[in-house]
């Protein structure tokens, strides 16, 4: 599990550790990890030219001590002091190692190999001070940038943008991941994130990201004496005369072998029978998937699914009917999962889509609390949130996953995991991870369509269970 903590949690853990260490030991530990990461990025540092952007806080000190390490290994290192003062011992260490302090000046890729952003730390206010922007923006993106802990200007605890922030090719963070490393839009500006372990004792993280080993533990495996009913039965209410393909795609996500049986109820019965002869008709289920392509039948399908009092994955057209008072009253505490994209969630919350996209973690949590159920907000980094505020952010996938019908496959997959016995938070999180991993495998760096994702799900699941 990749855990992302708040600034307050990190500061408390650092203070506890500092009380047990000699003075300066923690910053040297962090700076050494930073220096090694820069050396690895450059493929060696002898003769390389490094510019440090240094602010007054401890991350400026990290940059200075790392610069001293690099200078001792033969790099040409210069520091720009951008906010009037710098970490005194770090500055002395840099000068002692042969590094220089210079005024900001024009740079080009021909004159420097890497710029290290140590201006604002995790406790800094979002946005760039004008004097930093004036000095840095003319060189930004023309030269490789390495961020110390977090790119300057980001909102560390939310992943939101407030004004101007820098972008990094590599972010070297310490002790634990921070929320902005996982949550968009800031996560997209962190580049590759490398974690340096400091030995912090941390509380449970409010934001997590499942890794392959976590999903492997969650994927249901049949017992020796299992039969199709004990493995879980998932029902799919999807498709319509206008959108029969939605039924096929939702079923393709559900019929991956994770559940013992798939039932279908809807108006696309003939094409379903032709492509999925193993799918049967109405009957008892342990979970429903409802809404994908249901068009004008969406409300009735939703009501019928909720009447069974089993967990329901509510997707697409069905989401538009959640605010009817009698429907809303049946939601909380029943194990349901909502799977909107930003546009659908904007309609549900009467918000602006651009605002949803600018604050996905916030709005996923807000929707989960509002409806009393788990919410999966689809996006480049899909967010899964509980009514209590726990969140998981998915990091698998490919930009080509933004394709018609992919959400139908995901809804079916989550429904199968629910029917097999996973709780809603785990089913949604594992489903998003598997969905993204299958898309990456299917595309192999190139374009995909939704059916490709479904076809590659069994291969991804086999790889996990064999491992």
Mean pLDDT in order along the chain per 10 residues (467 residues) = 97 96 95 98 96 94 98 97 94 97 88 95 89 88 93 95 92 98 97 97 98 97 88 97 96 96 95 95 97 96 96 98 92 95 98 97 98 97 98 97 97 98 98 98 96 97 87
Q: Looking at residue 225, what is its pLDDT?
A: 86
Q: Looking at residue 147, what is its pLDDT?
A: 97
Angstrom distance (rounded) from CA 377 to CA 263:
26
Instruction: Quote the crossing angle between the two packed helices 406-419 and 424-443, to the nearest 10°.
Output: 140
Read out DSSP for 131-180? Answer: HHHHHHTTTBTTB-EEEESS-TT--TTT----S-----SEEEEESSEEHH
Q: Which of 187, 115, 125 has its CA nearest to residue 155? A: 125
Angstrom distance (rounded) from CA 139 to CA 117:
12
pTM above 0.85, yes or no: yes
Angstrom distance (rounded) from CA 186 to CA 129:
18
Angstrom distance (rounded) from CA 209 to CA 191:
16
Ordered structural domains, the chain, with CATH: 2-209 (3.40.50.10260), 212-466 (3.40.1190.20)
Q: Are strands 374-377 and 337-338 parallel, antiparallel or unpaired?
A: parallel
Q: Looking at residue 467, what is its pLDDT?
A: 60
Angstrom distance (rounded) from CA 121 to CA 153:
9
Q: Are strands 192-196 and 170-174 parallel, antiparallel or unpaired?
A: parallel
Q: Looking at residue 163, what is its pLDDT?
A: 87
Q: Looking at residue 140, what is its pLDDT?
A: 82
Is residue 149 within 8 A of residue 84, CB to CB? The reply is no
For the chain, how many residues are written? 467
Q: Which residue do the tokens 């922007």 mark?
A: 133
Q: Looking at residue 108, what is its pLDDT?
A: 85
Angstrom distance (rounded) from CA 452 to CA 95:
57
């Amino acid at each position: 599990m990749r855990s992302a903590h708040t600034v307050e949690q990190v500061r408390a853990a650092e203070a506890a550790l500092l009380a047990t260490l000699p003075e300066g030991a923690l910053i040297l530990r962090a700076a050494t990890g930073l220096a090694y990461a820069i050396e690895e990025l450059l493929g060696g540092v002898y003769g390389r030219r490094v510019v440090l952007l240094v602010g007054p806080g401890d991350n400026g000190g990290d940059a200075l001590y790392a610069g001293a390490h690099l200078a001792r290994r033969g790099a040409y290192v210069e520091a720009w002091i951008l906010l009037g003062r710098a970490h005194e011992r770090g500055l002395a260490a840099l000068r002692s190692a042969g590094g220089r302090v210079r005024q900001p000046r024009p740079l080009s890729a021909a004159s420097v190999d890497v710029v290290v952003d140590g201006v604002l730390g995790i406790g800094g206010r979002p946005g760039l001070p004008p004097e930093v922007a004036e000095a840095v923006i003319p060189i930004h993106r023309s030269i490789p940038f390495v961020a110390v802990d977090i790119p300057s200007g980001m909102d560390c605890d939310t992943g939101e943008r407030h004004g101007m922030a820098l972008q990094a090719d590599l972010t070297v963070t310490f002790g634990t991941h921070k929320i902005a490393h996982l949550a968009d839009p800031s996560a997209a500006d962190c580049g590759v994130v490398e974690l340096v372990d400091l030995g912090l004792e941390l509380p449970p993280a409010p934001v997590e990201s499942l890794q392959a080993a976590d999903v492997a533990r969650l994927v249901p495996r049949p017992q020796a004496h299992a039969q199709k009913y004990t493995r879980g039965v998932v029902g799919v209410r999807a498709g319509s005369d206008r959108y029969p393909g939605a039924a096929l795609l939702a079923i393709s996500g559900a019929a991956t072998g994770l559940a013992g049986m798939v039932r279908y109820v809807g108006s696309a019965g003939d094409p379903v029978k032709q492509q999925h002869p193993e799918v049967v008709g109405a009957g008892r289920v342990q979970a429903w998937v409802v809404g994908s392509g249901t068009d004008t039948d969406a409300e009735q399908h939703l009501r019928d699914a909720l009447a069974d009092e089993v967990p329901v994955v509510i997707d697409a057209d069905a989401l538009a009917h959640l605010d009817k008072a009698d429907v809303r009253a049946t939601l909380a505490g029943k194990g349901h999962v909502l799977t909107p994209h930003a546009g659908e969630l904007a309609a549900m919350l009467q918000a602006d889509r651009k605002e949803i996209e600018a604050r996905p973690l916030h709005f996923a949590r807000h929707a989960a609390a509002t409806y009393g159920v788990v919410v999966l907000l689809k996006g480049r980094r899909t967010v899964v949130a509980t009514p209590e505020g726990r969140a998981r952010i998915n990091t698998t996938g490919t930009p080509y996953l933004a394709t018609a019908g992919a959400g139908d496959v995901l809804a079916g997959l989550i429904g199968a995991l629910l029917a097999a016995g996973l709780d809603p938070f785990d089913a949604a999180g594992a489903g998003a991870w598997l969905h993204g991993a299958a898309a990456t495998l299917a595309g192999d760096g190139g374009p995909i369509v939704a059916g490709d994702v479904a076809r590659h799900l069994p291969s991804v699941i086999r790889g996990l269970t064999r491992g």
